[in-house]
Chains A and B, each alone.
Chain A
Amino acid sequence: MPDTYGAYGGRYVPETLVPALDELTAAWEAALADGSFRDELDVLATSYAGRPTPLTLAERFAPDKRLYLKREDLLHTGAHKLNNALGQAVLARRLGKQRIVAETGAGQHGVATATVCARFGLDCVVYMGSEDMRRQRPNVERMGLLGAEVRPVEFGTRTLKEATSEAIRDWITNVETTHYLIGSCVGPAPYPAIVRELQAVIGREARAQVLEAEGRLPEAVVACVGGGSNAIGMFAGFLDDEDVEIVGVEAAGAASLGTGRAAVLHGSRSSVLADEDGQITDAHSISAGLDYPGVGPEHAYLRDTGRARYVGTTDEEALDAFRRLTRSEGIIPALEPSHALARVSELDAALIVVCLSGRGDKDLAEVLGRGE
């Protein structure tokens, strides 16, 4: 399992966490080598989460293309986040940890974490920036119903960056009893590798489904990138297929890969929105799930090697794609994958798979507030 991706990744954490990361690495490697872990996840995936998720041809949204949507919005709790939360909850039980701490931006990872904690009877604390709590009220209420304690973070930007820092500080303080259930492929090793593996089911399924439907591989796969977990899960299925173009789509105001520089944030070295002194700068996006100045280290590596390319979508373009998919296909997407959908028409590819990472219920207030 890699600790680094080229010059990215690593473990930039206070000493207090190092033994816990060693323990987590050992437990994860043991779990992967233990067929019963995979079996347990498979049963949960099919009987609880609703896998496999379908691949939907979006003929009216993109009449000039063969555009397929990988429907992670149809997963239980409404987003791909559950894939990771379920896997890490099973891992936490193997570690003997009864308390779970998590961060959330859009609330989707918080809901997924609260859900698996309810399912397994674990104590759950979710840190969320107060600005995101305002933007994503329904998810705050869902977490409460599920029995999680949502702790508002009233610091700095009051969004995902600060929520992540607070979750890590909680973990530092309670590390002996607590598993930190990180929501994206970021953070210190081994987290980026764990989250990638747990999300790789998206790409595995999508690859088999598109082969089944079209008899060939897609020319391009596209996914939105905040921290980058749905994207890395989707891309993992196609990285070895050299002819498949891989495109990540960032929010233009939170383009860690597009405009960032090498810096250290939340325990790993990656491409980060930072100034020349290494101070982290603010991200801005209509989508709380993309409103993050960092990105998973493997994405920075894929950018540098040229295996994937990363482009940006503005708030307005994402809103437009959101409305168009809703009206043309009867699917209300989350604002995050709407960023990916916005780039489809200009791709020089006919057969495309986009990861529709989540559904848009949580975003209705934000969209309606902008005059729809």
Chain B
Amino acid sequence: MSKTLVIYLMAGPDTPELAEAAVDGGADIVEVGFPFSDPLADGPVIRRAAEKALAQGMRTRACLDCLAAVRGRVDVPLVPMTYSSLLEAYGWEHFADDARSAGASSLIVADLPAGDRPGLRRIQLVAPTSTDERLRLAGEQTDGWLYLVTVTGTTGARAGLSTALASLAERARVAAPHVPLYAGFGISTPADAAAAAELTDGVVVGSRALEAAEDGPAALRDLVRSLRDRVDSG
């Protein structure tokens, strides 16, 4: 079965064009970051991108507009990824409703762990530190797929694939047998992506995608294509 490739982009003026390039290169799902001033789960690349986006005025409404514009350009599922403070300010359910109206198929809230606000349908994250009990809870509550955080750490490139992923994926399979598992955090090279995809059902590439996006849609398309090719060739 073909593996799923998820590409993360930060909301901004160029995002619709970049999303189109990513899908053109073979992305199956696009995550759209709604920037937050104090993103605890993020490493330097996404932090810088968030700071830049906020300076460009990418507040919640502008991000929702951006999401709708992306929706107008691509047909793949779109998933906003953000932090609790934005939902707190906007209204939790209201945010989810408006994101869906703008074309989102689900939602990721990086600092809202499984168990909290179960009524808010979202993709749950699990980590190497998660207990089996928490893996089960996240598997039950997640919306569509489970996001496997490959490292004990923040987002951003690492030298090589985390050794923690294999055991996390194995435990998650048992705890959530019918849920697709996509691995993210620290996956930057085609080789890492292929290795992670071996163990799971898909991979998420974020920081590396943002770096490529800095060089424009063509560079992003090339990166995504190289990830796609390696993941597909196993």
Interface range, A side: 35 or more
A276 at the interface (CB under 8 A from B): yes
Chain A positions within 8 Å of B153 at CB level: 16, 169, 172-173
Chain B residues with Cβ below 8 Å from A264 are: 83-85, 88, 111
Q: How far is the CA of A263 from the CA of B36 in the complex (A)?
A: 12
Digitize B2-38: 1 where CB-to-A-CB distance is under 8 Å, 0 elsewhere.
0000000000000000000000000000000000111
In the complex, identify which listed stretch (B128-136, B175-183, B195-203, B205-213) lies at the interface while the others stay far away: B128-136
B38 touches A165 (CB 8 A): yes
Known contacts A161-B38, A266-B40, A280-B38; A15 and B154 CB within 8 A of each other: no
Determine which of B40, B47, B90, B131 lies in contact with A155 in the assembled complex, contact meaning CB atoms within 8 Å: B47
A20 to B83 Cα, complex, angstroms: 20
Q: Is A12 an interface residue (CB 8 A)?
A: yes
Q: Please, which residue of chain A has its CB at the minimum distance from the CB of B47? A: A155
Partner of B111, one of A12, A155, A156, A175: A12
Asked if A148 CB lies within 8 Å of chain B CBs, one says no
Q: Is A18 an interface residue (CB 8 A)?
A: yes
Q: What number of A-B contacts does a CB cutoff of 8 Å give? A: 117
Taking a contact as CB atoms under 8 Å apart, the answer to whether B127 and A14 are in contact is yes
Contact for B125 among A11, A15, A173, A278, CB less than 8 A:
A15
Which listed residue (A155, A269, A277) contacts B86, Cβ 8 A? A277
Given A19-B134, A155-B47, A11 and B116 touching (CB < 8 A)? Answer: yes
**With contact pairs A278-B90, A279-B36, A280-B37 given, residues A16 and B85 touching in the complex (Cβ less than 8 Å):** no
For residue A14, which residues in chain B have a CB less than 8 angstroms away from its CB? 40-41, 110-111, 113, 125, 127, 149
A168 interface residue (CB < 8 Å to B): yes
- 0 or 1 for each of A1-31: is its CB under 8 Å from B? (1 = yes): 0000000001111111111100000000000
Query: In the docked arrangement, what's the CA distance between A278 and B54, Å?
Result: 12
Contact across chains for B41 and A265 when beta carbons are under 8 A apart: no
Flag whether A52 is at the interface (Cβ < 8 A).
Answer: no
The proximity string for A residues 269-287 relative to B, scoring 1 for CB distances below 8 Å and 0 otherwise, is: 1001011111110000000
A275 and B43 CA atoms in complex are apart in Å by 24
Q: Classify chain B: how many residues form its interface, as a range.
A: 35 or more
Write the nearest CB–CB distance from B41 to chain A, whole angstroms: 4
Contact of B41 among A19, A20, A172, A263 (CB under 8 A): A172
The answer for the CA separation of A259 and B86 in the assembled complex, in Å, is 18
Asked if A173 and B154 make an inter-chain contact with CB atoms under 8 angstroms apart, the answer reads yes
* Residue B159 CB within 8 A of the other chain: no
In the complex formed, the residue of A with least CB distance to B131 is: A19
Task: Give residues in B with beta carbon < 8 Å to A.
Answer: 36-38, 40-41, 43, 47, 51, 54, 59-61, 83-90, 110-114, 116, 124-131, 134, 138, 149, 152-154
12 residue pairs of the A-B complex, CB under 8 angstroms, read A14-B111, A14-B113, A15-B125, A18-B113, A155-B47, A161-B38, A263-B88, A263-B89, A269-B88, A276-B89, A279-B59, A280-B38
Given contacts A275-B89, A277-B60, A277-B86, 11 further A-B contacts (CB under 8 A): A14-B41, A14-B149, A15-B126, A18-B113, A20-B129, A161-B38, A169-B154, A172-B41, A176-B129, A278-B90, A280-B85
